[in-house]
Copies of this chain bind each other. A is one copy, B any other.
């Protein structure tokens, strides 16, 4: 899990946005504590991670937003003589929260387990037993209605060294640095591996891990607060069992917001003709290569109504051998599809190896139309980003090329095209009442699309935005990207 986080660190959040999101999260947390009290939900929050990652100071920030009567912070120091004479889980169990209260553990049961493991202090199978106990403990809590949220604070070896050095330099902070801290930094790679294994082994759906990039304090605080808010909201919505939403741990690419996309890009008819011909020839060759090498390709199209998806798809299929591809127009699910997991109908339409499947609208309906029309619950669509990333990971691990296009136009162009459709008898079937209704929700859609693109642009299957005010430009760009992605795979 740690490798993926390294990648996520590259995502930059502008200062202004960070501030605003932080204040939203603070306000929400403040509101939630009363609901939590009322519904008697006990919340146990564990902060684990590397030494000097700043756990303590983040806890300090988080509790500022909570009424002091509603929480306890437990800092796990060296074990007392009393604690040494009790079972391993004793000190953690006796500190669990009452119903309706928060408890924060500044380092939980993970620390001792991974430290001893990394330092070779466990006899055979002792490590496995501890992991087993930890998992049972967490499951017993969640089965009995506790919300358990586990955070792992991550910093790089270099960053840790820098922080430890700074602490060592000042006389009044020297004492904070322990032998273990220094050992950890010296054996960072080895220690990380042990942590990674433990995180993977104990990353259960009832008590998942949230890995926090703790390089920047404000950013770390934001991540913790937002996860806390989400976790509590989810738990309050569930009855009996407080299952939180798992972290989306996939390596993401930094993406633009739709409002930042320049839609003025254009091609002349001549440029378009010329490029199209060459690209289609190339694609045609590649299709044969794909077939021979048994590489499956999945192309996903999403975009506003009248954005030009159909025409875009047509230019691609023109270049393909009809025996080797299939286009799947996706409408509302049939009853037998609706009765199953929402990814089922897409699993059912996967191409065979060596074939191409083109989806005109996709599984992203979950976080677009289903979200906005309320066809699924809030929990459902929030969970879906991770579920979809997992789904596409399965596909790329299988060996598929996954290319996702968001076809973008602006509001004026859409109006123009709608009007044209309505006024052209042979195009009237293309425009419905629903299109006009969707248009009214333009801003809400844009927000949902931005969130979707940010959360599902994984490095193995990122979104590509096609500026489609000019259809020529969009078609050529799509084809170029597709060719590039296939070439990358076939290298």
Contacts and interface: CB of A to CB of B under 8 A. Distances in A.
Contacts of A142: 205
Contact of A344 (B93, B136, B139, B353): B93
A100 interface: yes
Contacts of A87: 350, 394-395, 397-398, 400
Contacts of A344: 93-94, 96
A413 B97 CA distance: 44
B339 A85 contact: no
Interface in A122-145: 129, 132-133, 136, 139-144
A269 interface: no
17 contacts: A40-B339, A85-B294, A86-B350, A86-B353, A87-B394, A87-B395, A87-B400, A88-B398, A96-B344, A100-B339, A141-B341, A143-B205, A144-B341, A205-B205, A206-B243, A239-B239, A239-B240
A339 B100 CA distance: 8
Interface of A: 40, 42, 82, 85-90, 93-94, 96-100, 129, 132-133, 136, 139-144, 146, 200-201, 204-206, 237-241, 243, 246, 294, 296, 336, 339-344, 347-348, 350, 352-354, 379-380, 383, 387, 390, 394-395, 397-398, 400
Contacts of A383: 143
Contacts of A89: 347, 394
A143 B381 CA distance: 12
A93 B347 contact: yes
When all copies of this chain in the complex are counted, the total is 2
Given A94-B344, A238-B239, A240-B238, A133 B82 contact: no
A190 B341 CA distance: 37
A246 B87 CA distance: 24
B348 A387 contact: no
A296 B238 CA distance: 41
Contacts of A204: 204-205
Contacts of A390: 136, 140
A282 to B, nearest CB: 25
Contact of A133 (B237, B246, B294, B394): B394
